[in-house]
Chains A and B, each alone.
Chain A
Amino acid sequence: SYVLTQPPSVSVAPGKTARFSCEGDSVESESVHWYQHIPGQAPVVVISYNGDRPSGIPERFSGSKSGTTATLIISRVEAGDEADYYCQVWDRDSDLWVFGGGTKLTVL
């Protein structure tokens, strides 16, 4: 089981908005980071510290959190966004860096 819970899959048509949730007690008190992982490539951080967008990441990517749930939003989804998306926090109670189980984005 995962300290962070993510839905296994999300499907969205091109040009629409994709929303990814990440739920866990640690989300409320710790910074959440989001990664895009295209199979065969190195994972890339797309959102850090809950809502910061690293240099080079399109403005279509945004992040937020409320209580124990963090959300990654991809606006105007493109075919190239198809990937697995993972949330990650440092779990203070266990002193472990933990990932959610990941959500696979399918662009229809």
Chain B
Amino acid sequence: QVQLRESGPGLVKPSETLSLVCTVSGGSISGKYWSWIRQPPGKGLEWLGFIFYSGTTNYNPSLGSRISMSVDMPNNQVSLKLTSVTAADTAVYYCVRLHLEEGWGPFAPWGQGTLVTVSS
């Protein structure tokens, strides 16, 4: 079964760039949509965007031009970059697969999530 694992620095300084990698095992990223979702401490879930394996992206406008995603087919990885971070970007970041079947489907499976804290 497909498993996702997020990796990256757990601490990022304000104004710097948050970079996370999602490694997909048990299946190929080819032909599928991949998303990033975050959950700030004590708050709800926020969808950040998706990337299709071909590189097509759709980002949450609330993040403006700060967000970018990419795919690395040979390594079966999806990446997230968020620039100019502030304390408001402190959250658990999840990598998830977005299904498209009978219309847009659920997010499944989810990675375990990785906590990123923005602090000097």
Chain A residues within 8 Å of B, Cβ to Cβ = 2, 30-31, 33, 35, 41-45, 48-49, 54, 86, 88, 90, 95-102
Contacts and interface: CB of A to CB of B under 8 A. Distances in A.
Interface of B: 35, 44-47, 50, 58, 60-61, 94, 98-99, 102-113
Contacts of B94: 42-43
The 9 residue pairs across chains A and B that have the minimum distance between CB atoms = A33-B106, A97-B47, A42-B110, A90-B104, A99-B45, A48-B106, A45-B106, A45-B108, A101-B44
Contacts of A49: 102-103, 105-106
Contact of B108 (A30, A31, A54): A54
Nearest to A49: B102
Contacts of A90: 103-104
B104 A100 contact: no
17 contacts: A30-B104, A33-B106, A33-B107, A35-B106, A42-B94, A44-B110, A45-B107, A48-B99, A49-B102, A54-B108, A86-B44, A90-B104, A97-B35, A97-B50, A97-B107, A98-B47, A102-B45
